[in-house]
Amino acid sequence: MMLSSLTAISPIDGRYGNRTVKLRDIFSEYAFLKFRVKVELLWLKKLLTLKEINVFIKENESINCRIDEIMNNFNEHDAQNIKKLEKTINHDVKSIEYFLKDKLFKMLGAHRVVNFVHCFCTSEDINNLAYSLMLKAAKDKFIIPIWENIIKELKKIISNYYNFPILSRTHGQPATPSTIGKEMVNFSYRIERQLIQFKNINLLGKINGSTGNYNAHFSAYPNINWHKISQDFVLSLGLEWNPYTTQIEPHDYISEFFSCIARVNTILINFNQDMWGYISLNYFVQKNNVNEIGSSIMPHKINPINFENSEGNLGLANAIISYFTRKLPISRWQRDLSDSTVLRNMGSVIAYSMIAYDSMISGIQKLKVNEVQLLEDLDKHWEILAEPIHTVMCKYGIRDAYDKLKLLTRGKKINSAIIHSYINSLTIPEEEKIQLIQLTPMSYLGLSTKLAKNFKNYKHNE
């Protein structure tokens, strides 16, 4: 059976393959090999800049051109050759080393530079930097832009409906009204806060040998400041240098990276569930696509499948992240390999999340506010005005105000006439009565309109 979107085991590469194909350039096995080849060759070029080493190696410019040629022209055929070597020797990074030495030997012959491929490196020196570069690419190219797009979609709703009332529901029961815009602000603000934190997460790297002490480096070239060379190299990759490690970079930053993704995913699960509920209340309706079918047996249905799909995929992503954050920062003594297979699933987390984000955005774009239903529902619940009446009664020292209003409203059908009659019976100033009588469930909005309208002017602390 040939591998295709129909035969793939994982829905990431199968059912949802058209949504995740863009991630293959970062998280596929081919991409991982390409990143590691890049790190190996850039490190080789770094070594050739050291005068203590370069004294034995001439023609640097020509050699660097050859190195760049291998790096820039790396392709799937090269990757397949590396995998063939790995099948024989059963070591992934050593296979890359052998492949590169063979490539350089064919270009340069028995030149001394060939011996410096993977020199002073343990496998983790190469792998940790490759993974960090992979996460950097995913962060910059995909995650940040799509989070910003989600915020943009929410802000469209905020802008259009900053003052349109909606009946709130605390514990699922009718409660003090808000506006649609303000309810969207609640989510947008939360996501923006996480986005700022995510942008500020530093992606770390190390290149310091078998147990992080430059033992081999120092034994061969004791006069070179290897700590500084390591720092310069990691920084040149656009990463932050981790100066103190065992054999492995301890993955704390990876835990931070994915923890932030998990927090955003949790916020969006909350959003998906709320939108699902609002659709069920008919507060929002979904645009009707005449070609789509909602139910195999009930022709009338337009199901909120985008929000359900998003919720499910966010849950899958967070389940894996939960294990990431517990597992990855822990390594037995100076090194064990239990993190290796875990790290190879980073792309799965990003893929599940990206599928969810796409689905949620599609769901938002299909929505239309049902203004008639929102106003009708508010008009059915005049009992929510017991709150402002109670507050004014307390203001003027009326005893047992809460209990009196509880007796009036709880479990009863309340309308404007009942509310107005009760207000008129109160021993409070006439101007207070007038203000209370002017209140309706549609106008009892507090500062929600102002909060939503002014949201665009609010600046987060970075």
Distance CA 93, CA 91 (A): 6
What's this model's pTM, rounded to 2 decimal places? 0.94
* Angle, CA of 376, 166 and 433, to the nearest 5°: 80
The whole-number pLDDT of residue 176 equals 97
pLDDT in tens, 336-366: 989 999 999 999 999 999 999 999 999 999 9
Residue 238 gets the label, from left (phi > 0), alpha (psi -120 to 50) or beta, of left
Whose tokens are 């397949």? That residue is 80
**Residue 174 forms beta bridges with which residues?**
169
Compare 287 and 273 and report the one with higher pLDDT.
273
Q: What is the mean pLDDT of residues 295-321?
A: 90
> Is 296 annotated as catalytic?
no
Domains annotated on the chain, with CATH: 14-119 (1.10.275.10), 124-206+245-370 (1.20.200.10), 382-440 (1.10.40.30)
Q: Are strands 165-170 and 173-179 parallel, antiparallel or unpaired?
A: antiparallel
- Catalytic, 295? Answer yes
Averaged pLDDT for residues 238-266: 97
What pLDDT, on the 0 to 100 scale, is given for residue 1?
84
423-445: pLDDT as tens digits: 999 999 999 999 999 999 999 99
Distance CA(39)–CA(163), nearest Å, equals: 54
Output the six-digit token pair for 382: 């005049």
Percent of the chain with pLDDT over 70: 98
pLDDT, average across residues 312-325:
97
**pLDDT band at residue 7 using 50, 70 and 90 as cut-offs:** confident
Calculate the average pLDDT of the chain. 94
Annotated catalytic residue, options 171, 219, 296, 425: 171
Mean pLDDT for 109-135 is: 96
Does residue 118 come out as left (phi exceeding 0), alpha (psi in the -120 to 50 range) or beta? Answer: left
pLDDT of residue 416: 97
Does residue 300 carry a pLDDT above 90? Answer: no
Confidence class for position 461, pLDDT limits 50, 70, 90 = low
Mean pLDDT of 371-385: 97
Residue 295, pLDDT score: 66
Q: Which of 142-156, 182-196, 214-228, 288-302 has the lowest mean pLDDT?
A: 288-302
Residue 29's pLDDT band, with cuts at 50, 70 and 90, is very high
In this prediction, residue 227 has a pLDDT band, given cuts at 50, 70 and 90, of very high
pLDDT of residue 88: 97
Residues near 430 by beta carbon (within 8 Å), at least 6 away in sequence:
none
Examine the pLDDT at 130 and tell me if it is beyond 70: yes
Supply the DSSP string of 37-81, one letter for each residue: HHHHHHHHHHHTT-HHHHTT---HHHHHHHHHHHHHT--HHHHHH
- 266 sits in the region (left: phi over 0; alpha: psi -120 to 50; else beta) called alpha
CB 229 within 8 A of CB 223: no
Q: How confident is the model at residue 462 (pLDDT cuts 50, 70, 90)?
A: low
pLDDT band at 456 (very low <50, low <70, confident <90, very high): confident
Q: Give phi and psi for 179, each to the nearest 5.
A: -120, 155
Mean pLDDT of 267-290: 94
Q: Which of 5, 295, 338, 443 is catalytic?
A: 295
438-to-78, 248, 329, 385, 435 alpha-carbon distances in Å: 77, 68, 60, 11, 5
